């Protein structure tokens, strides 16, 4: 994924800052579903608490399953969660999209998540 955005002579990280940075991204209406890649060992906490930003300022969501699977694979065997982004947006939760098409939101309550069936 493209982690940096270039604007003329300036370069900046698209998202994932560890310090408070205003990316200047306007709110945006998300697609009906977004996706989050994780690994099985995190599922119990995600079911209980939803998706939280942890060390970041936002939860990062992918526009498709394949990208989310690649994100999850960085930590082991990936598990892809579906996020009912349309329902979140209807309920007033705010989304922004970075230059490299990573969708950002402050948190995803577990009621908006769809977990894959256990194997």
Query: 46 lies in a domain?
Result: yes
Domain hosting residue 41, numbered range: 25-114
- Residue-wise pLDDT tens digits, 31-41: 999 999 999 99
Residue 3: pLDDT above 90? Answer: no
Assess if residue 14 is contained within a domain: no
State the residue for tokens 């493209």.
Answer: 2
Instruction: Render pLDDT for 36-61 as a digit per residue (tens, 0 to 9).
Output: 999 999 999 999 999 999 888 899 99
Per-residue pLDDT at 19: 55
Evaluate if residue 29 carries a pLDDT over 90: yes
Could you tell me the CATH number of the domain that includes residue 106? Answer: 3.20.170.30
Give the residue carrying structure tokens 């970041």: 56
Residue 13 or residue 48, greater confidence: 48
- Side-chain-side CA neighbours of 82 within 13 Å: the count stands at 10
Nearest CA-CA partner of 80 in 28, 25, 117: 117
Residue 8 lies in a domain: no
pLDDT at 1 over 80: no
Is it the case that residue 15 has pLDDT exceeding 80?
no
Residue 70 located in a structural domain:
yes
User: Is residue 1 one of the residues assigned to a domain?
Assistant: no
Does a structural domain hold residue 103?
Answer: yes
Alpha helix ranges (H) inside 22-64? 43-49
């Amino acid at each position: 994924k493209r982690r940096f955005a270039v604007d003329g002579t300036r370069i900046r990280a698209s998202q994932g800052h560890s310090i408070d940075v205003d990316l200047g991204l306007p709110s945006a209406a998300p697609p009906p579903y977004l996706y989050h890649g994780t690994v099985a060992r995190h599922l119990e906490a995600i079911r209980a608490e939803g998706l939280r930003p942890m060390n970041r300022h936002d939860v990062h969501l992918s526009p498709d399953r394949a990208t989310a699977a690649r994100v999850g694979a960085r930590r082991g065997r990936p598990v892809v969660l579906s996020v009912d982004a349309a329902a979140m947006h209807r309920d007033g939760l705010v989304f922004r999209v970075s230059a490299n098409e990573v969708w950002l939101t402050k948190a995803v309550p577990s009621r908006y998540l769809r977990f894959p069936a256990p194997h």
